[in-house]
Amino acid sequence: MAQLSALAHHIFYSQISTKPEINLSDACANNLLLSDYISQEEFNDFFSKQVMSYADIQGDLGLRTTILNNLYEDFNLEDISTFSGAQEAIFATYLALLDKGDEVVVITPCYQSLNHYVNDLNINFINFQLNFENDWKLDFEGLEKAISNKTKMLVINYPNNPTGAHLNKNEVIKLANIASKYGLYVLSDEVSAFSTIDAGDRWCFSNYYDKAISISVMSKSFGAPGVRIGWSLCKDQEINRRLKRSKTYLSICTSRTDEFICNKLIKKSKEILNKNNNIIFDNVARLNKKIPKNLWNVHNAGIVTTVKTKKEINLIIEDLLKQDILILPTSVFGYEGNYFRLGLGNLKAIDCFIDNLEHFFN
Ligand SMILES: Cc1ncc(COP(=O)(O)O)c(C=O)c1O
């Protein structure tokens, strides 16, 4: 049987016996309520007319059109495929493009599914580690040195989970040039790409490089993790053909009900994103007044940031659990030390963090 690597954040959750009431490390925007965006009539209409046959493997045409029209520029319908979450899209990409013994360079810290895969395939994940003390700045020369003749793919995640670091468009072009020079695929995990103050700071890597697979999803910027729809964007049709084949081994197609809901929500993306992003940026403004600059990084984008604590992180975790409060240490994302991921998507969670500052810093 193929051996799958255990994901550290799931191991961490499984060791906690109760489900804490407050999660200070949630990476999702404030979870939305469907009835705020979809009327009873629209649901009734869907339920009375929808036949529950398999849906289109590449993703419902109407949904793909809505995603492209509302969220992206310069893509064709053949460039986009839907998946059951970003999680499936990541796995499908590795299944489609990696061979036994390949090397993958991953900029870390990062979400665990990006540098873990089926153990038996001996995929060699080379972690290119960025640092808190250096403001998570990307060292392009160092990155180029990490690429060898075995490297098949570069994996990036911006805005980053767990750091909140982001790249500007010039840096994206620089990365695309490096990938092109070495003929690499790029998996660009962009799950919180729509959580920027300024829409001008948003980019999609696949607009800059044909062999890139950009991945996004409903769970993060939209705050709808229960709608299991993610998507990939890629301008190379051979890659898209292989992604589609991978999907036939996984979910085959996304749920018709989720496609319907997702289509309605994305048509209201301006309203939803404004609401969610205002919460994030109010939270950032509040934190700016409360936490010294050297204990967290200037927040650029995304829904999370990494905070450095003055006390031992495991003691803080224990202390907070007694009060039914959960935090995730960054060690589960491959970054050791007294740091944790702070979620910025929820007002109540930041209230709770501010009320408990002495646990972290005294
Ligand atoms: C960076 C990143 N990529 C991918 C995913 C997977 O997203 P989903 O659970 O919506 O499939 C997550 C979820 O936390 C994430 O943080």
**Sign of torsion over alpha carbons 126, 132, 136, 138:** negative
If asked whether residues 347 and 325 sit together in one domain, one would say yes
Tokens of 120: 């038996």
pTM for the full predicted model = 0.96
Give me the domain span that covers residue 26.
8-34+270-361
Whether residue 1 is contained in a domain is answered as: no
Whether residue 262 is contained in a domain is answered as: yes
- The model's pLDDT over 132-161, given as tens digits with 9 standing for 90+, comes to 999 999 999 999 999 999 999 999 999 999
Q: What is the pLDDT of residue 1?
A: 73
Residue 164 alpha carbon to ligand 1 centre in Å: 14
319 pLDDT more than 80: yes
Which among 221, 239, 268 is the end of a domain?
268
If asked whether residues 232 and 85 sit together in one domain, one would say yes
Contact 269, 222 (CB under 8 A): yes
Residue 192: strand, helix, or coil: coil
Ligand 1: which atom is nearest the Cα of residue 90?
A: 4
Which among 252, 268, 284 is the end of a domain?
268
Rounded Cα gap, residues 119 and 146, in angstroms? 21
If asked whether residues 263 and 182 sit together in one domain, one would say yes
Whether residue 44 is contained in a domain is answered as: no
If asked whether residues 245 and 295 sit together in one domain, one would say no
Q: What is the mean pLDDT of residues 261-283?
A: 96
2 pLDDT more than 80: no
14 pLDDT more than 90: no
If asked whether residues 18 and 61 sit together in one domain, one would say no
If asked whether residues 130 and 167 sit together in one domain, one would say yes
User: 319 forms bridges with which residues in the sheet?
Assistant: none
30 pLDDT more than 90: no
If asked whether residues 21 and 66 sit together in one domain, one would say no
Residues in the chain: 362
User: Best mutation site among 220, 228, 250, 335 for ligand 1, i.e. most ligand atoms within 8 A of its Cβ?
Assistant: 220
Q: What is the mean pLDDT of residues 43-52?
A: 94
Residue 87 alpha carbon to ligand 1 centre in Å: 6
216 pLDDT more than 90: yes
Which among 235, 268, 301 is the end of a domain?
268
What total of structural domains would you count in the chain?
2
If asked whether residues 194 and 340 sit together in one domain, one would say no
Residue 283: strand, helix, or coil: helix
Rounded Cα gap, residues 286 and 274, in angstroms? 18
How crowded is residue 312: how many other Cβ atoms within 10 Å of its Cβ?
Answer: 10
Residue 28 alpha carbon to ligand 1 centre in Å: 9
Buried-state track 110-122, b at ≥16 Cβ within 10 A, e below 16: bbbbbbbbbeebe
Whether residue 40 is contained in a domain is answered as: no
Q: What is the pLDDT of residue 27?
A: 93
299 pLDDT more than 80: no
User: Best mutation site among 161, 214, 305, 330 for ligand 1, i.e. most ligand atoms within 8 A of its Cβ?
Assistant: 161
17 pLDDT more than 80: no
Q: What is the CATH number of the domain that holds 306?
A: 3.90.1150.10
Whether residue 144 is contained in a domain is answered as: yes
Q: What is the pLDDT of residue 18?
A: 78
Q: What is the pLDDT of residue 233?
A: 98
Q: What is the mean pLDDT of residues 230-238?
A: 98
If asked whether residues 91 and 111 sit together in one domain, one would say yes
More confident residue, 118 or 53: 53
Q: What are the backbone angles phi and psi of residue 276, rounded to the nearest 5°?
A: -65, -40
Ligand 1 pocket, CB under 6 A: 27, 85-87, 111, 157, 161, 189, 191, 217, 219, 225, 230
Q: Whose CA is nearest to atom 7 of ligand 1?
A: 86
88 pLDDT more than 80: yes
Q: What is the mean pLDDT of residues 187-214?
A: 95
Of the given ranges (144-148, 227-231, 288-292, 329-333), which has the lowest mean pLDDT? 288-292
Whether residue 150 is contained in a domain is answered as: yes
Q: Whose CA is nearest to atom 14 of ligand 1?
A: 27
If asked whether residues 263 and 275 sit together in one domain, one would say no
pLDDT band for position 118 (cuts 50, 70, 90): confident
Residue 49 alpha carbon to ligand 1 centre in Å: 32
If asked whether residues 259 and 311 sit together in one domain, one would say no
If asked whether residues 101 and 157 sit together in one domain, one would say yes
Average confidence score pLDDT of the chain = 95
Whether residue 147 is contained in a domain is answered as: yes
Q: What is the pLDDT of residue 7?
A: 86
Whether residue 39 is contained in a domain is answered as: no
